[in-house]
């Protein structure tokens, strides 16, 4: 995670980040957003880094090595989407086991992972620009994504009165994960949702051009990432859970908890909702855009289900409290 604001939502992972930021002092004054944003020649260079580690972010008995490469790259590209950036390319540091044979057909593990990386990069018009290869005890894919933005959108620009919108529908990744943990086979559609997430590059650029105030990709779950957007912007956020668009068979609460969705959560000016913005978005991108709440003057995150307040579900946390 890189960028500008030091204001993050709650959680053990983010407590550690706050401690790191404090230690860095002035050297880390611009940390805390989806991308690092650097002015270069009249445009803004957007840079993001995303690490995927075997046993934490993926399992090799659930995914092919090509799928592992795709997912790791899509996660990094999704950060560019959240800033409204156009991808240029990716750099990849790859660690693979060297003390046991891991083969898929006649190709090595590294070749198959990089085939997935290349396919994901090409899907958004980007290239593989370079990287590093090392032996490791388990697979590791560290992707640095680079892009350019004409009007970068940060997490910290939402204002009271803005509408809160989400692209696509939520819960598919969580539904797939539950099935895999239960030993059940995935339908082709659900498997593609899990193994080939689509970074919403075109959607992020469209929303940036239409005046998006703040944006974040949903990687840790709707509630968790909404909390980060609220903290960065210094606003409150009210979400109506029954409005959240979701996959068939997914409850509203499960949709709000599902991580690795890589849809975009965006604060838009109030006028967007009265001017046919969602219809125009769907015509341009083929995706639904659903208003699920609003930004408020009070601090924090408030979630209701048919008018009844509920405790916000926790997002994914690499360092949960013991």
Q: List domains and CATH numbers for the chain.
A: 47-149 (3.30.1330.10), 163-310 (3.90.650.10)
> Residue 309 in contact with residue 5, Cβ under 8 Å?
no
Contact 208, 191 (CB under 8 A): no
Q: What is the pLDDT of residues 149-195, one digit of tens each?
A: 999 999 999 999 999 999 999 999 999 999 999 999 999 999 999 99
Looking up tokens 């210094």 gives 234
Ordered DSSP codes for 206-256: HHHHTT--EEEE-SS-HHHHHHHHHHHHT-EEEEEGGG--B-TT--HHHHH
* Angstrom distance (rounded) from CA 304 to CA 54: 36
DSSP 3-state assignment of 59?
Answer: coil
Helix intervals (H) in 124-200: 172-181, 188-195
Which strand (E) or helix (H) includes residue 272?
helix 270-274
Q: Give the span between the Cα atoms of 234 and 227, in whole angstroms.
A: 10
What are the residues facing 128 on neighbouring strands?
90
Q: Report, as ranges of residue numbers, the positions in the chain whose pLDDT lies below 70.
A: 1-14, 16-18, 20-32, 99-107, 313-322
> What pLDDT is attached to residue 2?
42
Contact in structure between 69 and 142 (CB atoms under 8 Å)? no
Question: pLDDT value at position 300?
Answer: 86
- The SS3 call for residue 95 is strand
147 touches 202 (CB < 8 A): no
Which residues are CB-neighbours of 174 under 8 A, at least 6 positions away? 250, 254, 255, 257, 258, 259
Predicted confidence at residue 41, as pLDDT, reads: 84
pTM of the model: 0.87
**Among candidate residues 134, 154, 169, the one with its CA nearest the CA of residue 215:** 154
In this prediction, residue 14 carries a pLDDT of 57
Distance CA 4, CA 137 (A): 34
**Which residues share a beta bridge with 46?**
37, 147
CA distance 132 to 134: 7
DSSP state of 27: G
């Amino acid at each position: 995670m890189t960028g500008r604001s030091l204001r993050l939502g709650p959680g053990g992972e983010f407590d550690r980040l706050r401690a790191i930021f404090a230690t860095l002092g002035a050297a880390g004054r611009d940390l805390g957003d989806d991308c690092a944003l650097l002015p270069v020649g009249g445009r803004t260079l957007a840079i993001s880094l995303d690490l995927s580690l075997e046993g934490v972010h993926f399992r090799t008995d659930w995914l092919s090595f090509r799928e592992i490469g795709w997912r790791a790259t899509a996660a990094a590209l999704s950060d560019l989407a959240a800033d409204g950036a156009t991808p240029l390319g990716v750099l990849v540091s790859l660690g693979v086991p060297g003390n046991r044979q891991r083969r898929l057909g006649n190709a090595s593990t590294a070749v198959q992972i990089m085939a997935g990386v290349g396919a994901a990069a090409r899907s958004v018009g980007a290239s593989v620009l370079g990287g590093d290869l090392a032996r490791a005890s388990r697979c590791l894919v560290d992707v640095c994504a680079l892009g350019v933005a004409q009007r970068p959108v940060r997490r910290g620009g939402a204002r009271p009165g803005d509408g809160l919108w989400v692209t696509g529908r939520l819960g598919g990744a969580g539904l797939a994960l539950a099935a895999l943990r239960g030993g059940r086979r995935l339908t082709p559609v659900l498997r593609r949702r899990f193994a080939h997430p689509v970074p919403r590059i075109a959607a992020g650029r469209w929303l940036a051009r239409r005046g998006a105030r703040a944006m974040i990709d949903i990687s840790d779950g709707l509630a968790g990432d909404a909390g980060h957007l609220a903290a960065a912007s210094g606003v409150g956020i009210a979400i109506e859970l029954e409005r959240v668009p979701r996959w068939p068979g997914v409850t509203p609460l499960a949709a709000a908890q599902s991580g690795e969705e890589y849809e975009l959560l965006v604060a838009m000016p109030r006028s967007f909702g009265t001017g046919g913005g969602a219809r125009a978005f769907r015509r341009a991108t083929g995706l639904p855009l659903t208003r699920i709440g609003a930004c408020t003057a009070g601090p924090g995150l408030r979630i209701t289900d048919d008018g009844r307040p509920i405790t916000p579900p926790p997002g994914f946390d690499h360092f949960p409290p013991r």
